[in-house]
Amino acid sequence: MGKWSARGLRGATTVDRNDSAEILEATRELLSQLVSENSIDTEDIAAAFFTVTADLNAEFPATAAREFMGWNHVPMLCGNEIDIPGRLGKCIRVMVIVNTDKSQQELKHIYLKGATVLRKDLLPQ
């Protein structure tokens, strides 16, 4: 076991429509995989930051974290991603700060659906 540190864990996914249920389900899927792949205990989460592209405003992604993941005491913040023309749309991004003894190289960042184009270097080979 290594030394415990705060580490950033990234993930992103996309939806087809600006729809509350679709945003909640996509966020739940993303967070579930982040937690599972990295063996995260909710008590080890220091904070979570969500962004959505300008074309998504039907729901807060943090709602999915509270309702489906039980992150009721995790500090969370939602915001808009910078709206750069021609970039990936309908995208939900998250950075979860976790206390862990894993190295940065051991963490598994999760990119789903259309978001796989964002960080191909972090996808499983």
Supply the residues annotated as catalytic: 10, 66, 78, 81, 93, 111, 119
- Upper half-sphere CA count for residue 106 (Cβ side, 13 Å): 12
Cα separations in angstroms, 104 against 2, 77, 99: 11, 23, 12
3-state class (DSSP) for residue 52? strand
Residue 51 CA, chain-centre distance (Å), reads 9
